[in-house]
Amino acid sequence: MPNGKLSERWRKVPSCSRRICNSSHFPAEGNQPMPKLAANLHYMFDEVPFLDRFAMAAHAGFKAVEFQVPYDWPVEALVERLQNHSLKMVLCDTKPGDWNGGERGIAALPGRERGIAALPGREQEFRRDLETTVTYCRAMGCDCVHAIAGVIKPGENRQAAEDVFVENLRYAAQRLGEHGITAVIEPINGGRDLIRGGEAYTTYGMAGFFLNHVRDALRIIERVNNPNLRLHLDFYHLQLTDGNLAETLRQTIDVIKHIQIAGVPGRNEPDVGEIHYPYLFDLMDKLSYEGWVGCEYKPLRSTQEGLGWAKQYGIRTSS
């Protein structure tokens, strides 16, 4: 849990970061039902091609969307759909590296496949890729970026990886902050991997992922020492790695920028499985959480059929 110094520093930071230069094209965040739900378009509405999912999300009543990897599409195509359907883009990741080759981000990777000492690090690659992320976020009006750590191999030096991660995060927090964009890090369970036969970039977890636990994320945030680096808390991953969801939310609320949800164990609708989300939603409200809640889950059947759980939060279930 955060120490007093960390908690006190983040109380001074608004939950919603500064508007960026062209965000006037996108809907305001205020006066939304609690929780403010965002559809993850890699996972949801996969009954249709990706660029058609914006319309389906808007029709269902979502005011915001998120997706990890926007870089497969021209930014102009994404901006057009966001504007046409009055959707706010609330989260994306930094570039993941060679996804098909097993990489899941490069922020904590000190070297390539032959190990840490064999080659120079990838810090410059991370910085170059970050400029692409800035370009996409400024165009889309997205003010939150997950600096995804990456996978390290068994036996690699974890301290060296953390040191590289910290330096990359210092750079990212500063660079993104220049454009009113918040950097976040997300603990992800390292015991599972891709959803076989699923949509691109959909996973049950990331085998070998560097950052697995909230306690480690908080330590890294403290080392970076920049209030523009915040916590991205995914309750699905937290339940698989640590549990203790409500108390973790209470203890980290001042550091959290973004939350994601899914049922456990199957990463399906939030009302399927062992987590009682209505309690957590009420707790978010009591704690005055003002950020978005990303619906990063794989529907059991069609997306629309599974939206009954969200009806009380302003989402429509009819097709």
Residue pair 64/36 in contact (Cβ under 8 Å)? The answer is yes
Q: Is 296 a catalytic residue?
A: yes
Residue 188: name the closest of 230, 145, 241 by CA.
241
Residue 6: name the closest of 170, 227, 234 by CA.
227
Distances 297 to 40, 162, 248 between C-alpha atoms, Å: 8, 29, 21
Name residue, tokens 């059929």.
Answer: 305
In degrees, rounded to 5, the angle at the alpha carbon of residue 71 between the alpha carbons of residues 139 and 315 is 70
| Residue type, position 2, single letter | P
Residue 9: name the closest of 249, 170, 231, 226 by CA.
226
Beta-carbon contacts of residue 19 (< 8 Å; ≥ 6 apart): 143, 180
Q: Which of 186, 199, 222, 290 is catalytic?
A: 186
Name residue, tokens 């005055």.
Answer: 288
Residue 108: name the closest of 69, 32, 59, 166 by CA.
166
Q: Is 162 a catalytic residue?
A: no
Q: Which of 103, 162, 269, 296 is catalytic?
A: 296
How far, in Å, CA of 186 to CA of 306, rounded? 26
Residue 141: name the closest of 49, 23, 248 by CA.
23
How far, in Å, CA of 182 to CA of 229, rounded? 6
Residue pair 209/237 in contact (Cβ under 8 Å)? The answer is no
| Residue type, position 293, single letter | V
Residue pair 94/129 in contact (Cβ under 8 Å)? The answer is yes
Catalytic residues: 186, 296
